[in-house]
Structure 1
Amino acid sequence: MALAVDRAKGGVIVKSAANATSLPQGLIATKLVPAAMDRRLVSRESLFGSRTGWGGMSPVVSIVAAAGSGKSTLMAQLHHDMVEQGVSTCWLSLDADDNTPAVFAVYFLSALSSVDPNLAREDLSTLRSNPVRDFDVFFDALVARLSAIDRPTTVFIDDFQHIGHPRVLRFLNRLLAHLPPCLHLVFASRVQLPLDLARLRVAGALIEVDQDHLNFDATQAGVFLKRYHDVELAPDDLQALITTTEGWPTGIQLAALAIRRHRGSAGELIKSFSGRDKDLTRYLVETVLSSQSEIVRQFLLTTAPLRRMSPDLCRATSGHADSGEMLEHLERCNLFVIALDRNGQWYRYHHLFAEFLQNELRRTAPEAYRDVCERAADWCQDKDLTTEAIQYALDGECYEKATDLIARHSPKLAQFDGDHYTVLDWMRRLPTQFHDHRPESLLAHAWSRAFSRGTGIAMQLTEQVLEGLKAEPGTNWDLDDARRQGLRVTAHVVQAVTHAAADEMESCFARAGELRASLPPSEDFLIGTICNCLSLCHFAKGDFELSAKVAVDAYFHGQRAGAVFPTLWADFLQVMANVELGRLHTAHEVAQRAYASARSEGSRHSYGVGLSSLINAEIAIQRCNFDSAREFLGDGSIFKEVFGPAEPVLAAIRNEARAQAWNQELGAACRVLEQGQHTALGTQHPRLYAALAIEEATLQLIAGDTAGASQTASRTRLLDDSDSTRTSFSRRPLRGALQLLAARFQLAQQNPDAAARILTQLLQARGAPTQGCFFLTVTAVRAVALWNADRRNDAARELDRALRAAAPEFHVYPIASAGRALLPVLDAIAQRRTDAVSCADLDKKLLLQRSLHSILRGESSAQPAAETRPARRSDMVESMTVRETELLRLVDAGLANRQLADALLVSEATVKWHLHNIYEKMGVRSRSAAAARAREMQLF
Structure 2
Amino acid sequence: MQKADTLVRTKLHLPFTRPELVPRPRLQEQIAHGLRGPLTLITAPAGFGKTTLVASAVTGCGLPAAWLSLDKDDNREERFLSYLVAALQEADHTVGRGAAQLLTAALQAPPEAVLTSLINDLDSTGGEMALVLDDYQLINSPAVHEEVAFLLEHCPKTFHLVIATRSDPPLPLARLRARGQTVELRAADLGFTEPEAAQFLNGVMGLRLDAGSVTVLKERTEGWIAGLQMAALSMRHREDVPRFIEGFSGTNRYILDYLLEEVLAGQSPEIQRFLLHTSILERLTAPLCDAVIGNQGTRESGTIPGSPIPDTPIPGSPIPTSQSILEYVERANLFLVPLDDERTWYRYHHLFADLLRAQLQRSLGAQGVARLHVRAAEWHAQNGSVLEAIHHASAAADDERVEHLIEQNYMEMVSRGEMSGMRLWTGKLSKELVHSRPWLCIYEAYSHAWFGELDEADSLLGEAEKRIRSEISAPDAHSMLGHLAYVRSRVTAMRGDIHRAIELCLTAREYIPAGNLALQFDTRVTLGYEYFLAGDYANAGPILYESIRSGITAGAVIHTVAASCMMARLYGVQGLLHESYDTYQSAVQLIPEASGEHLDARALVKVGFADVLCEWNDLDAA
Same fold (TM over 0.5): yes
Distance in 1 between residues matched to 2:484 and 2:502, nearest whole Å: 16
Instruction: Tell me how large the CA RMSD over aligned residues is.
Output: 3.0
Q: Quote the residue 1:362 is aligned against.
A: 361
Q: Quote the residue 2:303 is aligned against.
A: none
Distance in 1 between residues matched to 2:139 and 2:259, nearest whole Å: 28
Q: Is the 8 A contact 2:16 2:338 kept in 1?
A: no
Number of residue equivalences:
595
Shift of 1:68: 0.9
Which one has the largest radius of gyration? 1
Distance in 2 between residues matched to 1:527 and 1:400, nearest whole Å: 27
Distance in 1 between residues matched to 2:31 and 2:339, nearest whole Å: 31
Q: 1:508 to 1:391 in 2, by over 3 A?
A: same
Shift of 1:183: 0.6
Distance in 1 between residues matched to 2:105 and 2:615, nearest whole Å: 27
Q: Quote the residue 1:195 is aligned against.
A: 171
Query: SS of 1:92's equivalent?
Result: strand
Q: Is the 8 A contact 2:31 2:40 kept in 1?
A: no
Query: SS of 1:63's equivalent?
Result: strand
- Once the two structures are superposed, the pairs formed by residues 143-542 of structure 1 within 5 Å of their partners are 150-264=126-240, 266-320=241-295, 321=319, 322-365=321-364, 366-414=366-414, 416-472=415-471, 481-516=474-509, 524-542=517-535
**In percent, how many aligned pairs have the same letter?**
28
Q: 1:577 to 1:25 in 2, by over 3 A?
A: same
Q: 1:529 to 1:310 in 2, by over 3 A?
A: closer
Q: Quote the residue 2:17 is aligned against.
A: 37
Q: 1:571 to 1:131 in 2, by over 3 A?
A: closer
- Per-residue Cα deviation, 1:414-464 (whole angstroms, up to 9, x for no partner): 2x4453223212223334333235333332333333332233333333332
Distance in 2 between residues matched to 1:50 and 1:192, nearest whole Å: 18
Q: Quote the residue 1:60 is aligned against.
A: 39
Query: SS of 1:42's equivalent?
Result: coil
> Which range is displaced more, 431-440 or 250-259?
431-440
Q: Quote the residue 1:566 is aligned against.
A: 559
Distance in 1 between residues matched to 2:257 and 2:6, nearest whole Å: 32
Q: Is the 8 A contact 1:152 1:183 kept in 2?
A: yes
Q: Quote the residue 2:601 is aligned against.
A: 608
Distance in 2 between residues matched to 1:517 and 1:295, nearest whole Å: 59
- Per-residue Cα deviation, 1:694-726 (whole angstroms, up to 9, x for no partner): xxxxxxxxxxxxxxxxxxxxxxxxxxxxxxxxx
Distance in 2 between residues matched to 1:562 and 1:459, nearest whole Å: 33
- Per-residue Cα deviation, 1:3-39 (whole angstroms, up to 9, x for no partner): xxxxxxxxxxxxxxxxxxxx98454333222222322
Distance in 1 between residues matched to 2:445 and 2:122, nearest whole Å: 35
- Per-residue Cα deviation, 1:755-806 (whole angstroms, up to 9, x for no partner): xxxxxxxxxxxxxxxxxxxxxxxxxxxxxxxxxxxxxxxxxxxxxxxxxxxx
Letter paired with 1:360: Q
Q: 1:456 to 1:602 in 2, by over 3 A?
A: farther
Shift of 1:302: 0.9
The TM-score normalised by the length of structure 1 is 0.59
Q: Is the 8 A contact 2:135 2:164 kept in 1?
A: yes
Distance in 2 between residues matched to 1:133 and 1:456, nearest whole Å: 23
Q: 1:130 to 1:276 in 2, by over 3 A?
A: farther
Q: Is the 8 A contact 1:245 1:276 kept in 2?
A: no
- Once the two structures are superposed, the pairs formed by residues 632-651 of structure 1 within 5 Å of their partners are none
Q: Does 1:96 align with 2:72?
A: yes
Letter paired with 1:40: E
Query: SS of 1:187's equivalent?
Result: strand
Letter paired with 1:285: L
Query: SS of 1:628's equivalent?
Result: coil
Distance in 1 between residues matched to 2:547 and 2:454, nearest whole Å: 23
Shift of 1:524: 4.6
Q: Quote the residue 1:551 is aligned against.
A: 544
Q: 1:70 to 1:443 in 2, by over 3 A?
A: same
Distance in 1 between residues matched to 2:13 and 2:122, nearest whole Å: 21
Letter paired with 1:65: A
Q: 1:470 to 1:197 in 2, by over 3 A?
A: same
Shift of 1:251: 1.4
Q: 1:106 to 1:358 in 2, by over 3 A?
A: farther
Distance in 1 between residues matched to 2:57 and 2:148, nearest whole Å: 21
Q: Quote the residue 1:580 is aligned against.
A: 573
Shift of 1:301: 0.8
Distance in 2 between residues matched to 1:620 and 1:162, nearest whole Å: 43
Q: Quote the residue 1:110 is aligned against.
A: 86
Shift of 1:346: 2.7
Shift of 1:343: 4.1
Query: SS of 2:91's equivalent?
Result: coil
- Per-residue Cα deviation, 1:162-206 (whole angstroms, up to 9, x for no partner): 233333333333333334200111121222343322333343332
Letter paired with 2:51: S
Alignment partner of 2:617 out of 602, 608, 624:
624
Query: SS of 1:542's equivalent?
Result: coil
> Which range is displaced more, 512-521 or 160-169?
512-521
- Once the two structures are superposed, the pairs formed by residues 757-776 of structure 1 within 5 Å of their partners are none
Distance in 1 between residues matched to 2:113 and 2:618, nearest whole Å: 29
Q: 1:418 to 1:96 in 2, by over 3 A?
A: closer
Letter paired with 1:41: L
Shift of 1:72: 0.9
Q: Is the 8 A contact 2:48 2:190 kept in 1?
A: yes
Alignment partner of 2:8 out of 28, 33, 50:
28
- Once the two structures are superposed, the pairs formed by residues 902-917 of structure 1 within 5 Å of their partners are none
Letter paired with 1:73: T
Alignment partner of 1:77 out of 22, 36, 56:
56
Q: Is the 8 A contact 1:88 1:152 kept in 2?
A: yes
Letter paired with 2:275: L
Letter paired with 1:426: W
Q: 1:418 to 1:598 in 2, by over 3 A?
A: farther
